[in-house]
Structure 1
C-alpha cells in the first residue's frame, strides 16, 4: 500500500473520543470511591468497613459479570450494548448523588460494576471494528493511558471537591462524562451482533455465584466472625459464621466452573471462556501474579484513605496529596516499563517488581507514623508504585503474547475477572485484617493500662472495635463514667493501637508480596528477539 492509499483509508479519530472517555468514566468512578470514604462515613454514620463495601461491590459486579458481558456484546452488537450500559452507568451516578443511605450508594456501585462489565470488553471490540493497522495500535495506546491519567486527575479533583463541597459532586462529574460518552457513541461503527451466539448460562451462574460468595465471605470475615458466628451474622450454620462457609462454597463453585467449561470444550461447544488462555504454567503464573499485585494495590488504596480521613480526621484533599506520589509513580512506570521488555525477560522484571513492592512495604511498616508527608513515607510509596506499575503492565502483556490472537477476547475477560475480583477481595481483606488486628491490639492495651479501670472498660463494647477519629472516641467515652484524665488515656491507647495495627498490617502485606515472587519466577524467559510488541492495552 502506498503512502497516499494509507492516508486515504485512515479513519476519523472521533470514535476514539467516546472509547477514551468511556475508560476515563470507569477509572474516575473507581478513583473517586476511596476519596469519598470519609464523606460516606460521616454522612451515613457507618463504620469505614461498611463504607468500603461500595468499592467491593463495584469490583464484585465487574468480576462476576465480565465474561457474560463479553458474550452478550457479541450477541447483541457492540455499539448498541455500549450505549445501553453507558446510560446504565449514568444511572449509577444519579444513585450516588441522591443516596439517602449507604445502601443506596452500595446499590449505585453494583449498577456501575454491572455496566463496566460490558464496557471493559466493548472498548477492545470497538477499537478492533473501527481502526486498523497503525491507527489501531495508537488507539489501544491511548486507552491504556486513559486509566492512569484519569486516576491521577480524579484524586486531585475529588480531593479538592471533597474538601470544599462534599463527596457527592464528584459523581456529578461521572454523570457528565457518561452523557458525553453517549453523545460521541453515535460516531462508532459496529456490526449488528450475532444472534446465533449462545451464552453458556450454566457457566455464567457458576462463576458469578463463586465470585459473589467469595467476595461476601472475605468482606464479612470481621463482622460475621472468622469462625464462630457473631451477633451481626445474618444466620449461623451449626454455630459457624457464614463468612468462611461462603468462601469454601465459592471455591467449590469455582472448581465446578472449570470442570464444566472443560467438558463443554471437549464436546466441541463454545465455552464462556476458552481455557486455552490458561494452558501453560507461565500463563497461570501471570494470572496468580496479576491477582496478588492488584489485591496489594487495593489494600494500599483502602488503607491510606482510611487512616488519613478517619483516623487522623483530615480532608479528602490531604488524601489526594498523600496518594499522589504513589499514583504518579504507577502511571509513569506503567508507561515506561515497556522500554525494558526487549532487554529483560518478563521473569526478571516480574521478580524485580515483587522484590520492590516487598521492600517498600517492609520499609513503610517501620517508618510510617501519623504524618503521611514525611520523606521516608513518600519514598516508600514511590518504590511501591514503581513495582506496582511495572507488574500491572507486565502480567497482562504476558497473557496477551502467550495466547493466540483469536483468543484476545478471552484474555480480556480473564483479565477483567481477575483484576476486579482481586480488587474486591483485597479491599475486603484489608478491612477485615486491620479491624481484627486493631481489636486484639486495643483489647491487650486496655487490659495493660493502669489508667483504665475495669469498671470503665465494662462500659465500652470492645467486641465492636473499629477505626474512629479521636473526636468520635471522646464523644463515646463522654457518655460513660470516665474522667477527663481517663478519656485522654483511652485516646492515647487507641492512637498507639491504631498505629501499631497499621505497621503490622503493612508487614503482613509485605509477606504476601514476598510469596508472590514464586509465581513471578515462573513467568516466561523470552530471548530479546522473541518478545512481541508490548503495546499498552485497555483496562
Structure 2
C-alpha cells in the first residue's frame, strides 16, 4: 500500500529536538557577542566601526544568504544542506575563537553567518514538514520560544563566559554542540526537496552585492562623510543592483525569490513588519547591551543579567502567541507587539542617564520583550500560510532574510547616529549618543505597528476565501485560515 501522507512524515519529536538545538545555537550567536564587545574592544584594540562589523559581518552574511540557504535546501535536499550548514557553523566558530585580530574575527563571523543562513530557514521547513497542519501553530510557537531562548541567553551566556574564562569561549561553546548535531541529523531527519530545479546564481549575486553596497555605505557614512564619493557610489551601486535583482527575478525561470509572493498582502505586510521590528530591536540592543559596562562600570555578566528581563520574555510568551495566532490571526498580535516595543524604546530613551537606577529600566525591558514575543510566531505562521506548502523553503528564506536585513540596517543607522552625537569618551558622551539614536528605533517600530494593521484578518468561516485577500486566490489555505 502507498503510505498516507501522515505516516510518511518524519518523526516529529526527533525533528523538533534537532532543529530546535540548531536554531538555539545560531540565534544565541546573534547577541552572545554583544556583552563581550567592550572586552573585545580593549583586547583587540577595536574601533566602533570594527565592533559594528563584528556584529554586522554575522548578520549581513546571514541576511544576504538566507535565500541562498533555502534555495540550496530545495535543490540538493534539506536534510543534507542542514547538516552541511551546521558543520560550517561549527568550523567557523572555532575559527572565531582562535582569531588573533579584529579582521580575522570579522571574517570568521561572516563564515558563521553563512552557516547560520543555511540552517535557519531549513529548521522551519523541516519542522513544518514533520508536523501536521492542525498543530502547526503550536509547533511554530515552540519554535519561536526556542529562538527566544537563544536571544534571551545570548547576553547572559556571553557575559558569564567573558567573566569566567575569556571572550574566545563564547565561540568554543558551539563546537561540541555542532559535532553532536551532524550525525543526529543524518540519522533522524527526513529528506525532502523543494520545487526549484536549479540555482538562481544571477539572483544570488545581484542580491548579495546590492545589499553589501547599501550596508557598507551606511556603516561608513559617518566616518567618510555622507556626500563623499565612496559613500554615494556604494549606496548608489547597491540600489541599482537591487533594482536589477528585482527585474531579474521577474523574468527568471527559476527565481530565488518569486515576486508573486509580494502580491499577497499577508506576505508583504508581515515582512515589512518584521523588517521594522528587527531594525528597532537590534539597533537598540547593540547600544543598550554596552550601556551598563561603559557608563556604570558593571561586569559583562552583570550587564547580561540586567538585560535578561527583556530578552527572556520571548521564551515565555512566544508559545502562547503561537496558539493565539491559530485562533485570532496574526494582525492583532503583531500590531500590539510592535506598539509595545515602540513605547518601551521611547521610554528607555527618555529615562536613561549615566546614573539611572536599574528599577527605572525594568518595566520598559519587560514591555520590549513581551512585544517581541507577540510577533515571532504569528509572523512565521502568517508567512507559511501565504504560500503553497512546497514553497515553504523559499518563503522562510525570504522572511528571515528581510528581518535580518532590518537588524543590519538598524545597527548601522543607530550606530551612525550614536557616533555623530556621542561616543566612548565618557559616560555622559555614551548616553548622549544612545539617547539620540534610540528614538529612531522607536519611530521605526511605531511604523511597523501601522504596517501590521494591513495584515489580513482571520476570516470568520475559517476557510480560505478570495475576499480575505484577492492576491491569494491560487494559494493553498493556511492552518489559521488567514489565506
Q: Distance in 2 between matches of 1:8 and 1:106?
A: 43
- SS of the equivalent of 2:408 reads helix
Residues 354 and 85 of structure 1, relative CA distance in 2, 3 Å threshold: closer
Establish whether residue 357 from structure 1 lines up as the match of residue 341 from structure 2.
Answer: yes
Q: Which has the larger radius of gyration?
A: 1
Residues 381-460 of structure 1 aligned to structure 2 (within 5 Å) = 381-438=365-422
What residue number does 1:508 align with? 440
Deviation at 1:90, TM superposition (A): 1.4
What's the CA shift string for 1:160-179, capped at 9, x where partnerless? 12112221112111112111
Residues 74-89 of structure 1 aligned to structure 2 (within 5 Å) = 74-89=74-89
- SS of the equivalent of 2:148 reads helix
What residue number does 2:305 align with? 321
Which stretch has the larger CA shift, 348-357 or 59-68? 348-357
What residue number does 2:451 align with? 519
Q: Residue 269 of structure 2 contacts residue 454 of structure 2 at CA under 8 Å; is this kept in 1?
A: yes
Establish whether residue 254 from structure 1 lines up as the match of residue 186 from structure 2.
Answer: no
Residues 339 and 144 of structure 1, relative CA distance in 2, 3 Å threshold: closer
Residues 7 and 289 of structure 1, relative CA distance in 2, 3 Å threshold: closer
Q: Distance in 2 between matches of 1:276 and 1:401?
A: 15
Q: Distance in 2 between matches of 1:216 and 1:40?
A: 22
Residues 373 and 184 of structure 1, relative CA distance in 2, 3 Å threshold: farther
Deviation at 1:74, TM superposition (A): 2.7
Q: Residue 162 of structure 1 contacts residue 315 of structure 1 at CA under 8 Å; is this kept in 2?
A: no
Which stretch has the larger CA shift, 149-158 or 93-102? 149-158
Q: What TM-score does the superposition give when structure 2 sets the normalisation length?
A: 0.87
Q: Residue 34 of structure 2 contacts residue 158 of structure 2 at CA under 8 Å; is this kept in 1?
A: no
- SS of the equivalent of 1:335 reads helix
- The runs of 4+ residues in structure 1 deviating greater than 6 Å are 6-10, 133-138, 192-196
Q: Residue 333 of structure 1 contacts residue 390 of structure 1 at CA under 8 Å; is this kept in 2?
A: yes
Q: What TM-score does the superposition give when structure 1 sets the normalisation length?
A: 0.78
Q: Distance in 1 between matches of 2:384 and 2:175?
A: 33
Q: Residue 33 of structure 2 contacts residue 154 of structure 2 at CA under 8 Å; is this kept in 1?
A: no
Q: Residue 14 of structure 1 contacts residue 187 of structure 1 at CA under 8 Å; is this kept in 2?
A: no
Residues 136-215 of structure 1 aligned to structure 2 (within 5 Å) = 140=140, 142-191=142-191, 197-215=197-215
Residues 534 and 298 of structure 1, relative CA distance in 2, 3 Å threshold: farther
Deviation at 1:294, TM superposition (A): 0.9
Q: Distance in 1 between matches of 2:438 and 2:193?
A: 48
Q: Distance in 1 between matches of 2:220 and 2:241?
A: 19
Establish whether residue 498 from structure 1 lines up as the match of residue 430 from structure 2.
Answer: yes
What residue number does 1:276 align with? 260
Q: Residue 274 of structure 1 contacts residue 407 of structure 1 at CA under 8 Å; is this kept in 2?
A: no
Deviation at 1:102, TM superposition (A): 0.6
Residues 201 and 38 of structure 1, relative CA distance in 2, 3 Å threshold: same
| Number of equivalences | 463
What residue number does 1:478 align with? none
What residue number does 2:64 align with? 64
Structure 1: unaligned runs, 5 residues or longer: 1-5, 229-239, 439-465, 469-493
Establish whether residue 118 from structure 1 lines up as the match of residue 118 from structure 2.
Answer: yes
Q: Residue 210 of structure 1 contacts residue 253 of structure 1 at CA under 8 Å; is this kept in 2?
A: yes
Q: Distance in 1 between matches of 2:135 and 2:321?
A: 22
What's the CA shift string for 1:290-328, capped at 9, x where partnerless? 101011110122011222233433211122112111012
What's the CA shift string for 1:371-409, capped at 9, x where partnerless? 465222111111122222213333333222222333222
What's the CA shift string for 1:87-124, capped at 9, x where partnerless? 21111111111111011110111111111121123323
Q: Distance in 2 between matches of 1:407 and 1:18?
A: 22
Q: Distance in 1 between matches of 2:325 and 2:395?
A: 20
Q: Distance in 1 between matches of 2:365 and 2:289?
A: 14
Q: Residue 32 of structure 2 contacts residue 155 of structure 2 at CA under 8 Å; is this kept in 1?
A: yes
Establish whether residue 90 from structure 1 lines up as the match of residue 93 from structure 2.
Answer: no
- SS of the equivalent of 1:530 reads coil
Residues 402 and 437 of structure 1, relative CA distance in 2, 3 Å threshold: same
